[in-house]
């Protein structure tokens, strides 16, 4: 009987020690997408895509083994929530995204070519020609520590594909989630200055 009792106590102590080794979950508030492009894209739907993508990063081996912190997400209703709302929701980070451009590549995005310029890839049958529904999109992101005005991490992601605008932007949200999760889980001696 003593052996069984000592084995049970030992098993409880081992699980308690391993539970203390796991990093605490990190809470991230995710703001709605700010759309600065001329195309209509649902900011709330894209925010929800980003939240789901961040939650999918919790399925990695490092998180399951307890070597990396789990990311808990909180959805914000606007693209610029007040600091009190972030504190109220106990978020350590706030993630802002900004859709800066979406355009079809068969249309000039900046200007028309100068007279005499040779246009490449637009003749019928040319294998380098883009299909008419080919689009390009760019999203900027900023990860801020709650209560801090300087970005903890920031970057830009872009993609080109023959997809609808919202699907293309949704793919960019997956890229943002991967980069943000890597940045949060990367060991830092102290925050970036």
Per-residue pLDDT tens for 123-161?
A: 554 555 556 677 778 889 999 888 777 888 899 988 777
User: How many Cβ atoms sit within 10 Å of the Cβ of residue 68?
Assistant: 22
Residue 184 has pLDDT above 70, yes or no: yes
Whole-angstrom distance, CA of residue 64 vs CA of residue 62: 6
Hey, which bits of 62-111 come out as E strands?
A: 71-75, 93-104
The encoded tokens of residue 5 equal 């009792």
Specify burial of residue 59 (Cβ count, 10 A radius: 0-12, 13-18, 19+).
exposed
Whole-angstrom distance, CA of residue 2 vs CA of residue 5: 5
Per-residue pLDDT tens for 60-88?
A: 888 888 888 888 888 888 777 666 677 78
* Helix axes of 165-185 and 43-56: crossing angle, nearest 10 degrees: 40
Among residues 61, 83, 75, the alpha carbon closest in space to that of 144 is found at 83
Does an H or E element contain 156, and which? strand 151-161
CB 96 within 8 A of CB 152: no
The encoded tokens of residue 165 equal 């605008």
Q: Which residue has the higher pLDDT, 121 or 133?
A: 133
Whole-angstrom distance, CA of residue 84 vs CA of residue 47: 20
Residues in the chain: 193
Per-residue pLDDT tens for 83-104?
A: 667 778 888 888 888 888 766 6
Query: pTM of the predicted model, to two decimals?
Result: 0.70
Per-residue pLDDT tens for 29-49?
A: 888 888 887 777 788 888 888
Architecture in CATH for domain 24-98+139-156+174-185: 3-Layer(aba) Sandwich (3.40)
Residue 13 has pLDDT above 70, yes or no: no
Residue 113 has pLDDT above 80, yes or no: no
Q: Report the phi/psi class of residue 147: left, alpha or beta, with left for phi > 0 and alpha for psi in -120 to 50.
A: left
Among residues 140, 142, 132, 144, the alpha carbon closest in space to that of 158 is found at 140
Instruction: Give the N- to C-terminal CA distance of the chain in Å, as an integer.
Output: 59
């Amino acid at each position: 009987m003593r052996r069984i009792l000592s084995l049970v106590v030992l098993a409880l102590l081992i699980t308690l020690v391993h539970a203390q080794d796991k990093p605490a979950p990190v809470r991230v508030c995710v703001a709605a997408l700010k759309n600065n492009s001329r195309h209509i894209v649902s900011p709330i739907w894209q925010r929800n895509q980003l939240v789901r993508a961040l939650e999918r990063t919790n399925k990695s081996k490092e998180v399951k083994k307890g070597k990396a912190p789990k990311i808990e997400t909180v959805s914000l209703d606007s693209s610029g929530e007040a600091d009190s709302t972030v504190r109220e929701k106990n978020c350590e980070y706030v993630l802002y995204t900004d859709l800066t451009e979406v355009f079809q590549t068969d249309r000039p995005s900046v200007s028309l070519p100068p007279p005499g310029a040779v246009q490449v890839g637009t003749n019928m049958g040319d294998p380098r020609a883009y299909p008419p529904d080919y689009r390009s999109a760019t999203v900027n992101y900023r990860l801020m520590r709650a209560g801090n005005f300087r970005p903890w991490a920031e970057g830009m992601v872009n993609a080109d594909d023959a997809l609808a605008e919202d699907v293309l932007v949704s793919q960019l949200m997956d890229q943002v989630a991967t980069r943000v999760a890597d940045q949060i889980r990367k060991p830092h001696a102290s925050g970036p200055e």
